[in-house]
Structures are given as C-alpha cells and as structure tokens.
Structure 1
C-alpha cells in the first residue's frame, strides 16, 4: 500500500494537531522516541519508525476514527485484538497501533501488521495510563475524542 507524504491529509491540508483550548499545535514526536518514552515495546517494524506522531486515538470504537480525515500522524491505542484493525489502519494510513497491558499477540495479528505496513507496539499498562502518558508527551489537545465529531 502506497503511503502519502507525512504532513498531507486526505483533504489536502497540512496536518497539525491543535490544542482545543489554546489553538497551539501539540508536540510532535518520532514513533521510535514515543514508544521509548511511554514504555511501549515495538513488535513489528513494518512502517517508518521516524514517522512523526502528533495525535492519538485511545478507544475500542474504531468506527469513530473513520470520521477523521488526517490520520498519518495518529497513533491508535486499542484493546482490539482482531487483524481487521490493521485493515482500517491501512485505509486511514495510520502509522502504528499500540496494544495494551503487555499483550503478546498471536501470529495472525503480527502478519496483519506486516501486510498492512502498520507498526505494532504494546504498552505494558492499560488504556487509561497509556493515554495519560501520551497526553503528557504530546500535549492535552493531542487526544482525538468522540466529542470532536459531534
């Protein structure tokens, strides 16, 4: 699957997560640095580790993520253990998915990650703590929430 240049989104605008409260861009962190700083282990190297991450989506309702237009700088954090999550990630050009609670994925999940060119990492902690770590690292406006689609 061919990926667009980082920084361009589906709508043709430049990406840049804005802090909803202050209209300032959130921090941008390279994927390999992000994994290290939040204590996540990278399991598959099927995409660019130098990808810049500005936002994250931490939820199990991946259908909500489909409303997003610019995802190539978004990390998906989820408990979903189905290979289909990588198909969605591929469609949205999400560079990486972070599983939770130190989960050891089955080979089918690893294969789906590789086939779709999406990096797979695993956080040693749960959803809330992982989201808190990402918010501290990227800024409080970096989290994509359901309310932003209302």
Structure 2
C-alpha cells in the first residue's frame, strides 16, 4: 500500500484475521458504514481494496435527500421489480448491491487472475450471502478475531 497509515484499523484487523484463519487468497467484504473489499494473498500480502458507500448509508441518504422517499429497513427479496415505493427501494438497493458485489468480485478475479475465498462480515452479511454468484463464508467475528490475534502477535514481539 502506498500509504499504510490510511488503512483503517477495522480493515487491518479483518485481513490479519483472514490470514490467520484461512491461509489462502481472500477477499473480505465488510458491510459496515462503508462496504469495504480487502484483498489478501495467501502469503499474507495485503494487495489493496475498495471502499463503497454502505447499505445503511445509501438508504439513509436516499431518504434524507429526497422529498418523498421513506427510510426503509432492508430485507432480502426475490422480487426484482417493486410494486410500490417501499418494495421498489428495497429491490433496487438489495439487487443493486448484489450486482455491485458480484461485478466487483468478477473484476478483481479477472484482473488478478487468482481464485479467492470470499468472506462476508458486518451487520448485513447474512442478507447477501446466498444471493451472490460467488460462494462466500460468513464470519461475523472476523474483526474481533483480528484484534485479538494482533494483540497476541504484538505481545510476542515484546
């Protein structure tokens, strides 16, 4: 990374844990305030990542910056075309994020020419996991695991 100090501690913890737990090329997708993608090689090298607006941030912004669109709680849906405002927002955001995630994963894989273990974490990981084209693993505790492993690693150094 050109500016390592700019990497958020949550993202650092995620890739540290992914390296410890999976020992493979990994993409960690964290559904937080931002939806982040962090790419890690099997030898523990952080290759970089992507940051997109988070799902809840997108919903909140859509509601607060428009006159008539309500704030909704996102739900998994099979329906692609909404039949009213709420279902249209839900379908648009849900399937929009699925398409974005699948598209970005496809682009990462085709650019790097590597296979990856895809790990989903964060509050909305469970909503998206079965709708993605790429097989994924949910690990809701990966950030916490990374913090613990970082503490253990640093204790060994001193």
TM-score band (shorter)?
0.3 to 0.5
Structure 1 or 2: more helix by fraction: 2
Greater RCO (Cα-Cα under 8 Å, separation 6 or more): 1
TM-score relative to the length of structure 2: 0.31
